[in-house]
Chains A and B, each alone.
Chain A
Amino acid sequence: MAISINGRDVALPDDPRVSLADLLRDDLHLTGTKIGCNQGGCGACTVLLDGARVLSCLTLAVQAEGRRVTTIEGLAEADQLHPLQAAFIAQDGFQCGYCTPGQICAAEALLRELAEGLPSYVTADITAPAPLSAEEIRERMSGNLCRCGAHPGIVAAILQVAEERAA
């Protein structure tokens, strides 16, 4: 009866009402994960569940039993910046920073989805691997809102890392 969170086994909460976001923040003090709307509208609480991006505010912690959760704290190696963290800094991908952990977790999953050739709503030919473009990244990041309006920098940062990985 445990969840693996950033490589560490964590006991399930006794009360099934506890969301994964609340478990991370209140019980484990992994406060990188943010709660914006708490109703699935903003993406600030995005984490990776078995590598796939999900909303931790709408996930009951008990639903994650036996699964692997990665938060912003578990993304980078030791004290190194993750390439996306470095790119967000280089490209001015944030202002207040509140949405940034969710943006970066979502972006990490997005890069994997693109590498797997998965289509989006704006992909012209959905039977072929989707191309890399700013339009594709904007569509695929639409679940993460930024009230500061740093979206141009966010898209540029993700494009930068996608190009680095493709090189």
Chain B
Amino acid sequence: MIPFSYSRAGTAEQATAAAASGHRLLGGGTNLVDLMRRGVEQPERLVDVTGLSDDIRPTPQGGLMIGGAVRNAALAGHPAVRREYPVLSRAVLAGASAQIRNMATVAGNIMQRTRCAYFTDAATRGCNKRSPGSGCDAQGGFSRYHAILGGSSACIATHPSDMCVALAALDAQVHLASAAGLRVVPLVEFHRLPGDAPHLDTVLQPGEIITALELPPPPAAMRSAYRKVRDRASYAFALVSVAACVTVDRGTLTDIRLAFGGIAPKPWRALRAEEALRGTPATPQAIAAALALDFAEAKPLDGNAFKLPLASRTAMAVLADLIGDAA
């Protein structure tokens, strides 16, 4: 690691001021400290923001406001989250290990780098995300964990968060603050696709920080599930994951929100499939046909083409369970 200074911010104002003066924000450190030790990240000034809000409280609209410094374990274990948003508890519990979930913060989870093994290998590998213009060694490399949707010739890394996949399906909103004021961005619009600028993971502006995450009220009778497929049973990134929130009325899907992890540089909402399936009985054949609409633009590589049928079948299984349980 290169030398750096360390300070703490006690308020959002202090944190935005520090961010505006070029400090990197430090949450639990489970991604940033690791990348610093590998020489991938080289911040000269860190400001610890774990002293900011770690409250989880109801909103007047009937949703939840989750402070950016809430630890992942606290989010997954919170009674209201377990009861009203089980897909979120399950997704957080599917991620990393108990130790990392105790350390990692909600804001840090969202801000973790979209990355792959070529990105983290600073010593020997070219990576446009780490060093713009140095090429993408993942193209033609070991692509099992890479994106089939949303990538570019510059970058095909995936965003590894499980939590964010559930947040995408829940229509979560990210609350941001800067010296210029406050703004709110839907989680599904917060992460960027790489295009020709893969070093930019998100739409967060310089001097801006995440203060909180807002969940809208859960629809009445919403049923939800999170399923993660990976190379070992636990403590591994997703090959494919699915978050689904549905409402079923007498065999008909009256509402459906479907998001995928592991297949794209950001949590991937299957909006075309949702549109095609809403108001239908959602038979397995209909689900497969609907997902084909979203996956039509996929650009799989030899090493990850299996993700297309895997994503489709995982979603079919999750939806069949949810619809079947409601019958």
Contacts and interface: CB of A to CB of B under 8 A. Distances in A.
B77 A119 contact: yes
Q: Count chain A CB atoms within 10 A of each CB in B1, B90, B99, B233 and give the residue with the most.
A: B99
A143 B33 contact: no
Contacts, number: 96
Interface string B261-284: 000000000000000000000000
Interface stretch (A25-33, A36-44, A69-77, A157-165): A36-44
A121 B94 contact: yes
A43 B97 contact: yes
Contact size class for B?
Answer: 35 or more
A58 B90 contact: no
A60 interface: yes
B77 A143 contact: no
Given A17-B3, A63-B50, A126-B90, A119 B76 contact: yes
B30 A55 contact: yes
A113 B48 CA distance: 26
B11 interface: no
Nearest to A145: B235
B298 interface: no
Contacts of B6: 16, 60, 62
A16 B4 contact: yes
A118 B1 CA distance: 36
B300 to A, nearest CB: 28
A121 B235 contact: no
B82 A55 contact: no
A40 B234 contact: no
Contact of B30 (A16, A40, A43, A121): A40
B86 A126 contact: yes
B116 to A, nearest CB: 15
A62 B26 CA distance: 12
B289 interface: no
21 contacts: A16-B5, A16-B46, A40-B100, A54-B103, A55-B99, A58-B28, A58-B33, A60-B26, A63-B29, A119-B76, A119-B77, A119-B89, A121-B90, A121-B93, A121-B234, A126-B86, A127-B79, A139-B233, A140-B98, A143-B97, A143-B99
Closest 9 CB pairs of A and B: A143-B97, A142-B234, A16-B6, A142-B235, A121-B93, A52-B102, A118-B77, A17-B1, A55-B99
